[in-house]
Amino acid sequence: MSLNRKDLLGLEHLDKKDFQTVLDSVKPFKSLFTRSVKKAPTLIGKTVVTLFYEPSTRTRTSFEIAAKRLSADVVNISVSASSVVKGESLIDTGKTLEAMKADYIIIRHSMAGTPDILARNLSASIINAGDGFHEHPTQGLLDLYTMYEKKKRIEGLKILLVGDILHSRVAKSNIWALTKMGAEVAVAGPPTLIPPQIEGLGVKVHYNLDEAIKEADVVNILRIQLERQQENLFPSVHEYVELYQLTKERLAKAKSGVMVMHPGPMNRGIEISSDVADSQNAVINEQVTNGIAVRMAVLYLLKPTKVKKNASSN
């Protein structure tokens, strides 16, 4: 069982078998959480570095907890307090971390493709924790797992992604994973926030949320970045709320048992109303818990190794 790769840069190049490998691997890691000792010694002696060029609390903390639950040593580097502000290049930073024997480097960067540059230059396993508008693969995998866990299948599920699809790396990773696993994916949002030719990825486009929501088994609400309003990509926050906020009234138009997801952090009262966020339909907290288990599975499946031989012990 393997992902057959050193790095996890995105979900675009993973196939159905890879996604199934991840889905099959997560449950034993999640079962660790119910024990008084929530750790296993799997990655003892390995070093995991989180290198974040953008602020993040939940993703970095999730990776840190995942690595610590597998007994790895974890070092967190915030770029604002690092040599990067003194002008060090990305590759030099990476090579320095590798010289310090980092086994995994988890990177977040505002430029798409940055993790790929590190992966091509270093032997450490590189995990993309979000690059520009490109991908956020572990978020895509944890969303996939949460749907699989709750709905017991992915094939044939109707998934609706709502909001800023254009700037969302979560949306792209979701689309790659879900369409390859046989789900029917649709997006809904203002025309200015839907990427052109997205239909080419096998995705239906809706501009009317009230219509789109009727068929959905799962609604994944994306965070609206309020600075987009200053870029004139939608007329006003008030109008966005009127047309695209997931409210109790809108949710009532969906099938019973519709599942509501949000990758966080939420803007309550903007893309999602508070009563929906706290409703029985929402699995937002389960997404956070699953995020740790999924990241543990990814660290396990990518685990860098030097020698390949058949080991046996009874």
Q: Which stretch binds other proteins (CB under 8 A): 128-136, 138-146, 273-281, 295-303?
A: 295-303
Contact between 5 and other proteins (CB under 8 A)?
yes
Is 40 one of the binding residues for other proteins (CB under 8 A)? yes
178-183, long-range: CB within 8 Å, 24+ apart, which pairs? Answer: 178/144, 178/147, 178/154, 179/203, 180/14, 180/15, 180/16, 180/19, 181/16, 181/19, 181/144, 181/154, 181/155, 182/16, 182/154, 182/155, 182/156, 183/147, 183/154, 183/155, 183/156, 183/157, 183/158, 183/159
Q: Is residue 70 part of the contact set for other proteins (CB under 8 A)?
A: yes
Binding mask 199-238 for other proteins (x = CB under 8 A): ----------------------------------------
- Give the residue, chosen from 20, 42, 225, 247, that forms a contact with other proteins under the rule CB under 8 A: 42
Question: ∠ CA(127), CA(21), CA(76), 5° rounding?
Answer: 20
Q: Which stretch binds other proteins (CB under 8 A): 54-62, 196-204, 239-247, 304-312?
A: 304-312
Residues that contact other proteins, how many (by CB under 8 A): 33
Identify which range of 3-11, 48-56, 127-135, 162-170 contacts other proteins by CB under 8 A: 3-11
- Confirm if 177 and 144 have CB atoms less than 8 A apart: yes
Token code pair at residue 37 = 């000792």
Q: Judged by CB under 8 A, which of 230, 232, 285, 312 binds other proteins?
A: 312
CB of 50 to other proteins, least distance (A): 22
Which of 16, 17, 31, 83 binds other proteins (CB under 8 A)? It is 31
Distance of CA 271 to the CA centre of its chain: 18
Residues that bind other proteins (CB under 8 A): 1-6, 24-25, 27-29, 31-32, 35-37, 39-42, 70, 300-301, 303, 305-309, 311-314
